Amino acid sequence: MLDQARPVALLIARITLGVIFLVHGYHKFATMGIAGTTKFFESVGIPMAGLAAPAVAALEVVGGLALILGAGLPIVGTLLAIDMLGAILYVHGGNGFGAEGGGYEFVMALGAASLAIGFTGGGALALDNLIGRRRRAIIAPA
């Protein structure tokens, strides 16, 4: 029973996490704008904010989409976890643990979830798994 539920649970987690990152990245482009995101990054001391702002926004949009699709999961999961580590170090770490006070609780959970999804295969309908199955079928001896 557990083995049957695992792929569906990972699918739900992967899509949910992907939507969160996609919306956060989109917000940096559309609501704050890259100029506003850059100003914010400068205000919290992120190095090379002019490069970091569009890079982080793009990572969160592309990474969110990759999570939703289940593509490139180990790489995307690692990059998003590093992104969240930066968010903890530069923005949330000084605010304590609790998310209600701007603390690192939520971003720590996002980072850990990114790694977990990235290194568990992504569950049902993950492109990484579907492509891997197809490759194995092509390579397998007849």
Mean pLDDT of the chain: 93
Q: What is the CA radius of gyration of the chain?
A: 17
Taking only the tens place, the pLDDT of each residue in 73-118 is 999 999 999 999 999 999 999 999 999 999 999 999 999 999 999 9
Structural domain total, the chain: 1
DSSP codes joined into one string, 16-65: HHHHHHHHHHHHHHHTSHHHHHHHHHHHTT-TTHHHHHHHHHHHHHHHHH
19: domain range? 2-139
Give the pLDDT confidence score for residue 137 in this predicted structure: 55
